[in-house]
Each structure stands twice: as C-alpha cells, then as structure tokens.
Amino acid sequence: MALELVTLRCLKDNYAYLLHGDEGTILIDAPEADPILNELTARGWSLDAILLTHHHADHIDGVPRIVAETGARVIGNGADAARLPPLDQPVEAGERISMLGEPVEVIDVSGHTIGHLAFHFPRSAYAFTADSLMAIGCGRLFEGDADMMWDSLSRLDALPGETLICSGHDYCAANGAFALSVDAENQALRARLDAVQRAEQPCAPATLDEERATNPFLRVAALRDSLGMPNSRDADVFRRLREMKDKF
C-alpha cells in the first residue's frame, strides 16, 4: 500500500507534503511552520524527518521551529549544506536511502538552483520535484542553464508515467496561460485547465503522464515545428520556451 500523502498549502502559493506510514511521518520542504505543525497536531502524528529539496527561503524557513517542536532530523544535499539548515543526514545525488520502510532515489535536478534534489519513492509512485518539474511548467533558471535543466527534466521524464509529481508551487494560472499560448490546440491541456477551474481536480500533484500530455516543457518534440526550430536540439527548444515564459 502506498504511503499516505497530505498536500499542504503554505505561504501564498507554496506546497509542502507530509508522507505517513506504519513507520512514521516525514515532511518534504518546510515553507512555514504553522500549517505543518497544525496538520501534524490535527492528525496526531509525530514527525521523524524533513527532506529538503533546495536552499530557497520559501522551502526551508519553517525548519528551525519545526525541528524545535518535533525533534525531526533534517536531510538534504550535503554538497549544498552551507546554504541549508543544519543537516543531520547529508545525502548526494544518485544515492538511494530508506524512508518509512521504502527505498528513496535521490535525483539531481539542478537548474533552478545548483544542487536542487528531487526525491522519488518508486514503491508508492511519488516524486517530490519542488521547483524543477512543476505543474504545467518548470522552475526559473536562477543558477543553472537550459542544458542543465533539460537534463534534469529528462531524468524526471524517464520515471514511470503513473508517478505522482509533487511540485513546489501552485502557479497553475500563469503556467496554464503560457502553455495555451504555445500549445493552443492541445485538448488534454484545455481539459486539465477546465477541470482545475471547476475545482474538480487540483493543479498539483498530477501524474507524470498528465504532465507529459500538458506541460510545454516536456513537449518540446511536439512544439519544435510551431516554434520554427524543426532541426534544433531538444535543449535549445527548451531554452526558447523558457525564455518565452520568462517574458510572458
């Protein structure tokens, strides 16, 4: 049975995630403390660990208080430890760790930041991608370049299609509007946005198959001709799309 997933809205448009199973509870990212601590209290759960995807404040600012109140250990990229809260368990990309009785694949998804990690739980079919692969979008390239981010997205795109992509923000309105501007005939995209608008489904999490069908940053092969780039590398088509999104 898959671990129980609880999606929490934090700050203005952030997501944090609780995973719960017979062996305890863990948190992925900590944008702010109150919503997370309140949810733990309401469910009667203790917290064993916090997995951190990257160093940005809107993903780590809740860590000190949550640790102080729960005693949870903190896990993150040892190579980026200087920019993260104190780590109890440094990990590295390519490592496989165990959490809640399941294997967890630690994946390098640098691009938005250098040292950004994603955490893939293959048994439960969850991938916590934060600001790399996002709902109908991807993160801005603050530290990495387009080739780096395309490599990261390609690693995530190689996961099984039923994997639930648990991203870091609800940017659905802006991401959906841009996606329609470059992929207007995509009926799967229109259906997804209509369902979100009618509140029949959340924008995130969504399966990787759904992202493949609706996310322009995973659809470079389908969009290259309309962008006038029929013979360009995938990474260059991605770069063009990311530049267009930045100016949208």
> Domain map of the chain by residue range?
4-247
179 touches 214 (CB < 8 A) = yes
Q: What is the mean pLDDT of each run of 10 residues along the chain (248 residues)?
A: 93 96 97 98 98 98 98 98 98 97 98 98 98 97 97 98 96 94 96 87 89 98 96 97 96
Q: What is the CATH number of domain 4-247?
A: 3.60.15.10
Sheet containing strand 49-51, edge to edge, reads: 4-10, 14-21, 24-28, 49-51, 73-77, 89-91
Q: Given this model, what pLDDT does residue 192 score? A: 94
169 is in an annotated binding site: yes
55 is in an annotated binding site: no
Q: Given this model, what pLDDT does residue 116 score? A: 98
Q: Given this model, what pLDDT does residue 42 score? A: 98
29 is in an annotated binding site: no
20 is in an annotated binding site: no
Q: Given this model, what pLDDT does residue 84 score? A: 98
Q: Given this model, what pLDDT does residue 28 score? A: 98
Q: Given this model, what pLDDT does residue 176 score? A: 94
54 is in an annotated binding site: yes
